[in-house]
Structure 1
Amino acid sequence: MILVYSVILITKVYQFEITLSKKFKEMNKFDHKLAIVTGGNSGIGYATAKELITEGAKVIITGRRKEAVEKAAGELGAIPFIADQSNLEDINMLCKEIESQYGKVDILFINAGITGTLSSIENMNTENFDSVMNVNFRGAYFTLSKLIPLLNNGASVVVLSSIVASTHKPNSSVYQASKAALNSIAKTAAAELAPRKIRVNMVSPGPTKTEIMNKAGLDEKTLEGINDWLINEIPLKKMGTAEDIAKLVVYLSDDHISSFITGTEVIVDGGMVL
């Protein structure tokens, strides 16, 4: 009799575990969460928005080019918002729209950035300096600043930095400085927002296959030569992909598995800075 009862009990427990497992599979980790991805119409931003949506999040993507943003949003199933990260008025409009339409934000990925043109310090012009700093540093700073009141307690902020933040290569002084400044602010934000259990982390990719180098104004032959040289310098002998970075951003945005990680810079470079 005891044996029969035990078998029945084990069977019921097993069936309960299967039912529970199915329910967890049906639920996505970011169900009912709102995410914002700046610069979400291409490259790492696009890949991250796609990954977040796959995991159940409602995602707003921003960008400067109306057609590109709306096209990407249509492909992804995201919400498009036309905003230039370097324009404070656009940032304020974004915040007002989010507050009135959606309320609070759970995940913020500050991704938008530009490289500018390559130039020595001696020959740097003020237009290029201002352009890079206004997007990469000033714009990112005030995007975070203005959105902090809209972040839920326990929210996650991820900032896209770069391994160049700690390198000092010739002809890239402004881009490198913009990312170094961004890292400093992200760490300060991690300390300031810790009482609200809001985590702020940085992801610093190495060489990654995206459109950003094409936007630097280099021709195909030069780009091919740079890519070959980079691959030879990377211990893993391959370039990173936007999807590699996206998966890490999603990992850091998950408050179940990354709840004790904040103020951290995660380098994703195939071992290049070893």
Structure 2
Amino acid sequence: MSRLSGKRTLITGGTSGIGLETARQFLAEGARVIVTGVNPDSLAAAQAELGSEVLVLRADSASVGAQQQLAQAVAAHYGQVDAVFLNAGISVWQPVEQWTEETFDRSFAINVKGPFFLLQSLLPVFANPASVVLNTSISVHVGSTNASVYSATKAALLSLSKTLSSELLARGVRINAVSPGPVDTPLYDKLGVPDAYRQQMHEQIIQSIPAGRFGTPQEVAKAVLYLASDESRWTIGSEIVVDGGRLLND
């Protein structure tokens, strides 16, 4: 298939989970791909799986300087970029009284500041037309306990998908968001939930999903693929919710 034939693409946080699966699907659809990550083992594993034609770069989403360097690397490699999936992020859930200024700032740095300044740095690099997809979350719409800061970061990102759509459309850059519900990815292993309670949490989450299961990275990646492709060229500032019906319960 060739829905992205020849398109020059960038996927941040592309070495595991939804990002890695999106890279697989982009490649299968004929795209050229750059992925980023921060973990050396994940970077090496992604390079081995995706092949030598894919550029795998280390880029810390919390660092504005690293985002500027990433944009320079994209320009040097491609000249211009046709589609970007801003997927890098962290998910920290904890009670409001446990947050410190440092952990609060880190969540916003990785989930909001980094993507914003990467977009800014890519402005001279975007082709016309170009597509940007932001990975937000249904947590924007759900008042989940312990998700105050995480949800706020994703709400900020969703807002940017609309405001920047208006601002950048004249440059040929359209921006959309994909908002996953609970997805079976390594992210859930990073929430700090003790093993003894992980199965209980897993079951509680499934009970909240009308489809009766977690989503898969493949299902989310298909939505990203649509938004990155020319099939969605009249889709601007929109949000695709991929959640197994989770929002039906709110």
Q: Shorter chain as normaliser: what TM range?
A: over 0.9
Correspondence for 2:102: 127
AA aligned to 1:152 is A
Q: 1:231-270, aligned counterparts within 5 Å?
A: 231-255=206-230, 257-270=231-244
Correspondence for 1:45: 19
Correspondence for 1:34: 8
AA aligned to 2:12 is T
Give the gaps of 5 or more residues in structure 2.
none
Residues 121-180 of structure 1 show CA distances to partners (whole Å, capped at 9, x for unaligned) of: 233212221121110011111111111221111111000000001222221111010000
Which secondary structure state, in structure 2, belongs to the residue aligned with residue 36 of structure 1?
A: strand
AA aligned to 1:227 is H
- Distance in 1 between the 2:184 and 2:43 partners? 20
Tell whether 2:32 aligns with 1:58.
Answer: yes
Determine which of 114, 128, 147 is the counterpart of 1:139.
Answer: 114
Determine which of 113, 125, 131 is the counterpart of 2:89.
Answer: 113
Determine which of 148, 155, 159 is the counterpart of 2:123.
Answer: 148
Q: 1:6-25, aligned counterparts within 5 Å?
A: none
Structure 2 contact 36–58 (Cα < 8 Å) conserved: yes
Correspondence for 2:72: 96
- Distance in 2 between the 1:66 and 1:60 partners? 16
Which secondary structure state, in structure 1, belongs to the residue aligned with residue 246 of structure 2?
A: coil
- Distance in 1 between the 2:236 and 2:223 partners? 14
- Distance in 1 between the 2:4 and 2:13 partners? 20
Structure with max Cα Rg:
1
Q: TM-score, normalised by structure 1?
A: 0.86
Which secondary structure state, in structure 1, belongs to the residue aligned with residue 97 of structure 2?
A: coil
Which secondary structure state, in structure 2, belongs to the residue aligned with residue 114 of structure 1?
A: coil
Give the gaps of 5 or more residues in structure 1.
1-24
Structure 1 contact 61–73 (Cα < 8 Å) conserved: no
1:70 is displaced (CA, Å) by 2.7
- Distance in 1 between the 2:201 and 2:34 partners? 34
Correspondence for 1:18: none
Moved segments of 4+, more than 6 Å: none
Q: 1:177-256, aligned counterparts within 5 Å?
A: 177-255=152-230
Percent sequence identity is 38
- Distance in 1 between the 2:223 and 2:33 partners? 17
Determine which of 46, 58, 62 is the counterpart of 1:82.
Answer: 58
Moved more, 148-157 or 63-72: 63-72
Which structure ranks higher in relative contact order (CA pairs < 8 Å, sequence separation ≥ 6)? 2
